[in-house]
């Protein structure tokens, strides 16, 4: 597979690139500095000249450049243009969305038939982008993801669960973890492998989640124990939410396959 990848230097992008290369494929990183996301013809030329069979659109507005409404431009407008370009050039288009398209007031676990309801922020922008992608490119694949976990023994990326724990320890001396929150989450390598598989899947919406039944406190405690009690985990019950993403058509390895201390 020859793939063009936006967000190739991000947490998932690095894992996706590594998996493609290990599988004998090729991953071409989109250079956002060289190809402006609001220059349609430059983007069209980049996609056409790449010789790619599929475009994985993973990028988010993680590094602000000072553009007005930059998050909207990245999450919605750029996504819309790339989907249209791939439709015109007959390329597969795989777009990563998020469990955050569901508000904290929604009742999970969520299936692909559940109506997303996020009305503000990142989740709202992604919710609108999902609908736009299917309008622009009806043969596209949309994959909703949960929180990503770094693989055991690897350096966590900036937006992984483990890196969040590091920040909480630095700021508060502990990690507060609700016993009543079941987060959507998966290990990044498992997510990357599933995304590659989805490039050949039927068009439509998919959910990628490895959490069968565990609470945030369960997961945090197992992660800490796996790393020699690296973080001080404090149990709370102040956040009640089932965020899990259900989808019988594609199965990710269970969290327990990576964290055997989970019960």
Instruction: State how far the alpha carbon of 244 is from the alpha carbons of 28, 124, 197, 253, in Å.
Output: 32, 18, 21, 14
Both structure tokens of 20: 């493609």
**If DSSP codes are grouped into helix, strand and coil, which group holds residue 210?**
coil
Helix ranges (H only) for the chain are 11-22, 40-50, 70-72, 79-89, 121-136, 161-172, 188-198, 216-226, 255-258
In whole numbers, what is the pLDDT of the chain averaged over residues?
Answer: 94
CA 87/CA 14 separation, integer angstroms? 26
Average confidence (pLDDT) over 231-236: 97
Closest residue by Cα to residue 209 from 147, 137, 257, 132: 147
Q: Give the pLDDT band of residue 63 (cuts 50, 70, 90).
A: low
From 38-47, 87-96, 155-164, 176-185, the region with the lowest mean pLDDT? 155-164
pLDDT of residue 151: 82
Residue 149 has pLDDT above 70, yes or no: yes
The dihedrals phi and psi of 149, each to the nearest 5 degrees, come to -110, 135
CA 260/CA 257 separation, integer angstroms? 6
CA 201/CA 131 separation, integer angstroms? 19
pLDDT of residue 99: 98
Helix/strand/coil percentages in the chain, nearest 5? 40, 20, 45
Q: Give the pLDDT band of residue 65 (cuts 50, 70, 90).
A: low
pTM of the model: 0.94
pLDDT of residue 181: 98
pLDDT of residue 68: 75
**If DSSP codes are grouped into helix, strand and coil, which group holds residue 247?**
coil
Residue 62 has pLDDT above 70, yes or no: no
pLDDT of residue 159: 84
Residue 156 has pLDDT above 80, yes or no: no
From 145-154, 208-217, 224-233, the region with the lowest mean pLDDT? 145-154
Q: Give the pLDDT band of residue 66 (cuts 50, 70, 90).
A: low
154 against 30, higher pLDDT: 30
Q: Give the pLDDT band of residue 155 (cuts 50, 70, 90).
A: confident
**Alpha-carbon dihedral sign for residues 168, 173, 174, 176:** negative
Give the Cα-Cα-Cα angle 13, 18, 19 (nearest 5 degrees). 100
């Amino acid at each position: 597979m020859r793939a063009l990848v936006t967000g190739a230097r991000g947490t998932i992008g690095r894992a996706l690139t590594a998996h493609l290369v290990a599988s004998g494929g090729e991953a071409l990183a989109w250079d956002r500095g060289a190809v402006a996301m609001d220059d349609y013809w430059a983007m069209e030329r980049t996609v056409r000249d790449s010789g790619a069979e599929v475009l994985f659109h993973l990028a988010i507005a993680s590094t602000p450049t000072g553009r007005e409404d930059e998050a909207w431009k990245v999450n919605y407008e750029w996504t819309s243009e790339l989907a249209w370009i791939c439709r015109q050039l007959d390329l597969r288009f795989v777009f990563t969305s998020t469990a955050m398209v569901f508000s904290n007031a929604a009742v999970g676990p969520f299936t692909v038939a559940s109506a997303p309801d996020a009305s503000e922020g990142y989740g709202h922008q992604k919710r609108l982008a999902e609908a736009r992608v299917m309008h622009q490119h009806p043969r596209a694949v949309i994959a909703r993801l949960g929180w990503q976990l770094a693989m055991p023994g690897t350096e966590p990326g900036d937006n992984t669960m483990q890196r969040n724990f590091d920040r909480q320890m630095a700021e508060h001396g502990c990690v507060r973890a609700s016993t009543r929150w079941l987060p959507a989450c998966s290990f990044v390598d498992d997510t990357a492998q599933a995304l590659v598989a989805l490039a050949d899947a039927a068009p439509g919406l998919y959910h990628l989640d490895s959490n069968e039944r565990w609470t945030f406190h369960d997961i945090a405690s197992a992660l800490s124990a796996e790393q020699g009690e690296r973080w001080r985990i404090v149990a709370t019950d102040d956040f009640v939410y089932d965020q899990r993403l259900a989808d019988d058509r594609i199965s990710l390895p269970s969290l327990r396959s990576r964290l055997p201390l989970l019960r």
